[in-house]
Chain A
Amino acid sequence: MKHEFLASLLLFGLASAANAEPFKCPHVGGDLVFGQEANINTLDQMASATISTRNIAMNIYETLMTRDENNNPILELASAMTEAPDHLTFTFKLRPNIVFHNGKKMTSADVVASFDRYAKVGNQRSILNNVKGWDAPDAETFVIHMKVAQPTFIESLSSFSVPIVIIPAEERDVPAMQLTKPIGTGPFELVESVPGSFVKLKRYDGYQPNTAFEQKTGFGGYKQACLDTVTFRIVTEPGARVAGLKTGELQAVEDLPTKSVPDLKKDPNITILPLLNWWIQIAIPNTSAPPTDNVTFRRAVQAALDMDEIMDAASDGNYKLNVGFQYPNQPDYTDAGKATYNLKDPALAKKLLAESGYHNEPVVLLTDKDYAPMYNSALVMQQELQAVGINAQMKVVDWPTSVQMSQVSDTSWNFFFTGWGTQPALGALATMQFLADPNAVYRPKGDKGDPELIAAWNDMNNLPEAKDRQAAYAKMQQITLEKVFAIPFGSLTKVQGTRANVKGFVPFRIPRMSNVWFSN
């Protein structure tokens, strides 16, 4: 299986090298100011799962493996990877002549140190749970030894949720969140970071692009820094981002308010770039607390919902209806369980309510105002539930409180409102972990998950063939929707915008600043 992956990867690389010229900056120079919606807490990428950190840090750092534009694993700082026939050893050959921003040549000792630090402080260090250890037989080779074969290991290793970025060996022992001056191998290096204000990067002249590709793809590929500098300015107020884009002070921004888009579209100096499938808007039931511990009641709720109405309010009209936990353009997508989705059938809801023995007990929708889509979707759901006779009540707290409450089943809530962004983009395996131990959000009774669901999850992780793992995912999605362990409403679109003279900016999970240039 992995040999096939490697062969196709190499073929792709060779074909690319043989058939096409690599990307060359049409114009070099300029300072691009990007209006970022959220403050950044840290640039310590190993310790942070936040999108705002990744937005900036992934222009600085690189990894052994990452994902391409279609979410397939690709090599980045490695030129080759081989998997032993017993699936217990992965050997990476490092690309030669990679130099860190501090001028030091990258060797396998740096990769070892990076994995050492990640195992200690990496925010998603469980991806190394099945790893026995790693070593560096020579300066260009890095080897991972597994305790047990894990068919999904490469998928986990290439995850960009909290990537294992490669740092200089001297930084091995820096505590979590304290790597404040990042030194990576990426096309941009840090100039200055002023928390709450801006982060400035500049082109790294010693950058070595990956010649196995001819264009950037996803987080990897052939990357070039065409801009002299990039300034990520923190602009949390949406109106200020719109104003900055209009005046040209900001050359690119994220998360434009939907209401401003029609006006911005009329401006010839502005290009609107919708980023589809930014996150799945979702409500998770508390299956330990009555009445949502009753599957018939949960089905009644499911039957009552009109997803168009909910998503319209959640997204200001910028959404797509979507069955399940992957998007139609993703390889893992399945519509298994679609018969349960967007039923908007009050009569069925009332019938199921009667069958469930519901007697007007309060049903608490736990939401927050930090993320408007969560609050708005809860508000509409409350109205729809009340319309079929459910005593739906809102409990509005802030985001840290709602997460804390959601992790305890007896805190008087029945539905927890959240959004799944990064994990669905990473694939089915990353997404469905939200429904499996130790991350199950639906609060199974006694923390013991549904046996059918757990069996499907284990198959997703352990079956050796990809098609069987995909079938297991379809089964898990179907079980989740039929037993209503989650209610996905649909997917939100995030609208980005650039000045018209900004070229090569392609919306992705982060604002990628490589292969972006100003037209003359």
Chain B
Amino acid sequence: MLGVLIRRVLGALPVLAIVSLITFGMIHMIPGDPAAAIAGMSATAEQIANIRTDLGLDQPVLDQLWHWYANLAHGDLGRSLLLGIPVMTATLQRLPVTLALSAYALVLTLVLGLGSGIVAALKRNTWIDQAAMVLAMIGISLPNFYLGLLMIILFAVDLGWLPTGGYVPLWQNPIGWLATSTMPAISLALLLAGLLARITRSTMLEVLRQDYIRTANAKGLPRRQVVLKHALANALIPITTVVGIIISLLISGAVVTETLFSIPGIGQLLTQAVLNRDYPMVQGGLLLTTALLVLINIGIDVCYALLDPRIRYDG
């Protein structure tokens, strides 16, 4: 297994190289002057030109590419044009915020999605099944931005239960983190829980029709054991694939939620970087995020092997 892991990690390096090149090319192809973005409205042409000179934006693109790769070889991702701090520092400040929020949302997604999907499958064609699927459809259909605003009005303004926004780091104040992260996590989770519920239901239905389930039932095994040990365990492979995608979506798709609730996560950071043409931040931030997503996918592959001993990658 260790050898497989090493091969997978090494195999990811060309992926990262290609991603970095594409990112560099695309961000530089987009029209727009980072100096204008940094200068803001009301800046004069002279002020914009000064920023361009001070930050080296007047250098030829190929020179910038060469410098970027040369610095990357030394582990230096450059310095954010906007923030004035190293890209690595900025990313490492923001990534834990998004990861913590994503983990919270993932727990909610799994509880709601798996739970309602399994129940719907077991209670197929009953009102419970229909209610679960209607809720899942609402979750999928409701834009999380709109849902977030509705929750702010209800839970923060009207009921006063939760703060309207802001962020408290988990490691500083877990209760405060829970208070500030609950609405964002719910708004993120509902969409994905709906997706997971539908996939869990259809996968479970398919597994429940299999001969080995009929055999287990015929042997008189308790219902709970049949469902959890035989049906769910076999349904988990496709569900794990979807969970892998969900984790990627949570990390990469949290930007709207982060903006609405003023959460300083990686999504908000990278979106601002793209909008403001903060080239080093986009290049470095996306490279690190891609590396993280590659690692998550490797982790999912490992999970397959752990869930189903028949799956082996080393031949």
1/0 contact string of A113-124 vs chain B (CB within 8 Å): 000000001111
Cα–Cα, bound, A175→B79 (Å): 12
**Which of B83, B261, B277 is in CB contact (< 8 Å) with A195?**
B83
**Which of B31, B41, B84, B152 is in CB contact (< 8 Å) with A397?**
B31
Cα–Cα, bound, A434→B164 (Å): 41
A485 CB, min distance to chain B CBs, angstroms:
15
Does B34 reach chain A (CB closer than 8 Å)?
A: yes
Inter-chain contact B42/A419, CB cutoff 8 Å: yes
Cα–Cα, bound, A244→B149 (Å): 12
Inter-chain contact A400/B262, CB cutoff 8 Å: no
Inter-chain contact B46/A439, CB cutoff 8 Å: yes
Inter-chain contact A371/B84, CB cutoff 8 Å: no
Say yes or no: A239-B93 contact (C-beta < 8 A), given A124-B46, A249-B166, A404-B32.
no
Q: A residues within 8 A CB of B33?
A: 400-401, 403-404, 407
* Range class of the B interface residue count: 35 or more
Inter-chain contact A420/B81, CB cutoff 8 Å: no
The stretch of B2-10, B47-55, B241-249, B299-307 in contact with A is B47-55
Cα–Cα, bound, A440→B207 (Å): 71
- Least CB separation from B274: chain A residue: A398
- Least CB separation from A52: chain B residue: B40
B183 CB, min distance to chain A CBs, angstroms:
11
The stretch of B58-66, B100-108, B153-161 in contact with A is B153-161
Name the residue in B30, B44, B47, B50 with the highest tally of chain A Cβ atoms < 10 Å from its Cβ.
B44
Inter-chain contact B42/A42, CB cutoff 8 Å: no
1/0 contact string of B12-42 vs chain A (CB within 8 Å): 0000000000000000001111101111111
B32 CB, min distance to chain A CBs, angstroms:
3
Please, how many residues of chain A have a CB less than 8 angstroms from a CB on the other chain?
A: 65
Q: A residues within 8 A CB of B45?
A: 407, 438-441
Say yes or no: A247-B264 contact (C-beta < 8 A), given A235-B165, A398-B32.
no
Does B203 reach chain A (CB closer than 8 Å)?
A: no
A56 CB, min distance to chain B CBs, angstroms:
14
1/0 contact string of A239-277 vs chain B (CB within 8 Å): 110011011011000000000000000000000000000
Q: B residues within 8 A CB of A39?
A: 272
Which residues between 265 and 282 of chain B lie within 8 Å of chain A, taking CB atoms?
265, 268-269, 272, 275-277
Does A166 reach chain B (CB closer than 8 Å)?
A: no
Say yes or no: A243-B156 contact (C-beta < 8 A), given A196-B264, A197-B264, A234-B262.
yes
Say yes or no: A400-B277 contact (C-beta < 8 A), given A243-B153, A249-B164.
yes
Q: A residues within 8 A CB of B85?
A: 178, 180, 195
Q: B residues within 8 A CB of A249?
A: 156, 163-166
Say yes or no: A176-B55 contact (C-beta < 8 A), given A235-B165, A399-B36.
yes
Cα–Cα, bound, A177→B46 (Å): 17
Inter-chain contact B44/A197, CB cutoff 8 Å: no
Does A344 reach chain B (CB closer than 8 Å)?
A: no
Does A44 reach chain B (CB closer than 8 Å)?
A: yes
1/0 contact string of B74-91 vs chain A (CB within 8 Å): 000001011111000010
Inter-chain contact A47/B54, CB cutoff 8 Å: yes
Does B260 reach chain A (CB closer than 8 Å)?
A: yes
**Which of B39, B79, B263, B275 is in CB contact (< 8 Å) with A123?**
B39
- Least CB separation from B49: chain A residue: A438
Which residues between 152 and 193 of chain B lie within 8 Å of chain A, taking CB atoms?
152-153, 156-157, 160, 163-167
Q: A residues within 8 A CB of B230?
A: none
Q: B residues within 8 A CB of A234?
A: 262, 264
- Least CB separation from B277: chain A residue: A400
A403 CB, min distance to chain B CBs, angstroms:
4
Does A360 reach chain B (CB closer than 8 Å)?
A: no
Name the residue in A176, A178, A197, A243 with the highest tally of chain B Cβ atoms < 10 Å from its Cβ.
A197
Does A396 reach chain B (CB closer than 8 Å)?
A: no
Q: B residues within 8 A CB of A400?
A: 32-34, 36-37, 275-277
Cα–Cα, bound, A246→B157 (Å): 7
Which residues between 25 and 56 of chain A lie within 8 Å of chain B, taking CB atoms?
39, 41-42, 44, 47-52
**Which of A180, A246, A370 is in CB contact (< 8 Å) with B84?**
A180
- Cβ-closest 9 pairs across A and B: A400-B32, A403-B36, A197-B264, A50-B40, A177-B84, A196-B264, A176-B54, A404-B33, A401-B32
Given A197-B166, A403-B36, 13 other A-B residues pairs in contact with their CB atoms under 8 A = A123-B43, A124-B44, A178-B79, A178-B85, A195-B85, A233-B166, A239-B149, A240-B164, A243-B165, A247-B164, A249-B165, A433-B44, A441-B45
User: Please, could you name 23 A-B residue pairs with CB atoms under 8 Å apart, sorted by A?
Assistant: A41-B84, A44-B84, A48-B38, A51-B40, A123-B47, A177-B84, A196-B268, A197-B264, A233-B262, A235-B262, A237-B260, A243-B153, A243-B157, A398-B32, A399-B36, A399-B41, A400-B37, A400-B275, A401-B31, A403-B37, A405-B31, A407-B48, A434-B44
